[in-house]
Amino acid sequence: MRPGRWILPAKLIDGTAIGRVMRAELTAEIQALKARRVIPGLAVVLVGEHPASKVYVRMKGKACDEAGLYHETITLPKETTEAELLALIERLNVDHKIHGILVQLPLPQQIDTQRVLHRLDPAKDVDGFHPENVGKVSIGEPTGFRPATPYGVQQLLLRSGVETTGRHAVVVGRSNIVGRPMAALLLQDAPGGNATVTVCHSRTRDIGSMTRSADILIVAIGKPEFVTGDMIKPGAVVIDVGVNRVDDPSTKRGYRLVGDVKFAEAQAVASAITPVPGGVGPMTITMLLYNTVQAARQWAHP
Sorted by sequence, the CB contacts under 8 Å of residue 16 that are 6+ apart come out as: 278, 282
Active-site residue, from 34, 65, 95, 104? 104
Q: C-alpha distances in angstroms, 278 versus 22, 116, 235? A: 15, 31, 21
CATH of the domain at 66: 3.40.50.10860
Q: Active-site residue 206, yes or no?
A: no
Domain check: are 125 and 218 in the same one?
A: no
Question: Is 116 within the bounds of a domain?
Answer: yes
Predicted local confidence at residue 178, as pLDDT: 97
Domain check: are 254 and 157 in the same one?
A: yes
Domain check: are 85 and 202 in the same one?
A: no
Cα–Cα distance, 245 to 271 (Å, whole number): 26
Question: Is 137 within the bounds of a domain?
Answer: no
Active-site residue, from 54, 97, 124, 127? 127
Q: C-alpha distances in angstroms, 136 versus 91, 139, 144, 187? A: 25, 5, 5, 14
Mean pLDDT of 52-59: 85
Question: Is 3 within the bounds of a domain?
Answer: no
Number of domains in the chain: 2
Domain check: are 117 and 175 in the same one?
A: no
Per-residue pLDDT of 3-54, as tens digits, reads 445 556 899 999 999 999 999 999 999 999 999 999 999 999 999 987 778 8
Mean pLDDT of 136-161: 97
Q: Active-site residue 60, yes or no?
A: yes
Sign of the alpha-carbon dihedral angle for 127, 133, 137, 140: negative
Sorted by sequence, the CB contacts under 8 Å of residue 139 that are 6+ apart come out as: none
Question: Is 299 within the bounds of a domain?
Answer: no
Question: Is 54 within the bounds of a domain?
Answer: yes
Q: Active-site residue 112, yes or no?
A: no
Active-site residue, from 31, 34, 54, 60? 60
Range of the domain at 113: 37-130
Domain check: are 159 and 276 in the same one?
A: yes
Predicted local confidence at residue 293, as pLDDT: 98
Per-residue pLDDT of 212-259, as tens digits, reads 999 999 999 999 999 999 999 999 999 999 999 898 888 888 889 899
Per-residue pLDDT of 182-220, as tens digits, reads 999 999 999 999 999 999 999 999 999 999 999 999 999
- What predicted TM-score, i.e. pTM, was given to this entire model? 0.94
Q: Is the pLDDT of residue 262 over 70?
A: yes
Domain check: are 201 and 275 in the same one?
A: yes
Sign of the alpha-carbon dihedral angle for 238, 244, 249, 251: positive
Per-residue pLDDT of 94-136, as tens digits, reads 999 999 999 999 999 999 999 999 999 999 999 999 999 999 9
Are 224 and 258 contacting, i.e. CB atoms less than 8 angstroms apart? Answer: yes
Predicted local confidence at residue 7, as pLDDT: 54
Predicted local confidence at residue 4, as pLDDT: 47
Per-residue pLDDT of 263-287, as tens digits, reads 999 999 999 999 999 999 999 999 9
Are 9 and 68 contacting, i.e. CB atoms less than 8 angstroms apart? Answer: no
Backbone angles phi, psi at 134, to 5 degrees: -60, -45
Domain check: are 254 and 168 in the same one?
A: yes
Domain check: are 243 and 160 in the same one?
A: yes
CATH of the domain at 256: 3.40.50.720
Cα–Cα distance, 282 to 277 (Å, whole number): 9
Domain check: are 232 and 173 in the same one?
A: yes
Domain check: are 96 and 50 in the same one?
A: yes
Domain check: are 191 and 116 in the same one?
A: no
Cα–Cα distance, 283 to 150 (Å, whole number): 9
Domain check: are 126 and 153 in the same one?
A: no
Question: Is 25 within the bounds of a domain?
Answer: no
Cα–Cα distance, 44 to 288 (Å, whole number): 11
3-state SS string for the chain: CCCCCCCCCCEECCHHHHHHHHHHHHHHHHHHHHHCCCCCEEEEEEECCCHHHHHHHHHHHHHHHHHCCEEEEEEECCCCCHHHHHHHHHHHHCCCCCCEEEECCCCCCCCCHHHHHHHCCHHHECCCCCHHHHHHHHHCCCCCCCCHHHHHHHHHHHHCCCCCCCCEEEEECCCCCCHHHHHHHHHCCCCCCCCEEEEECCCCCCHHHHHCCCCEEEECCCCCCCECHHHCCCCCEEEECCCEEEECCCCCCCEEEECCECHHHHHCCCCEECCCCCCHHHHHHHHHHHHHHHHHHHHHCC
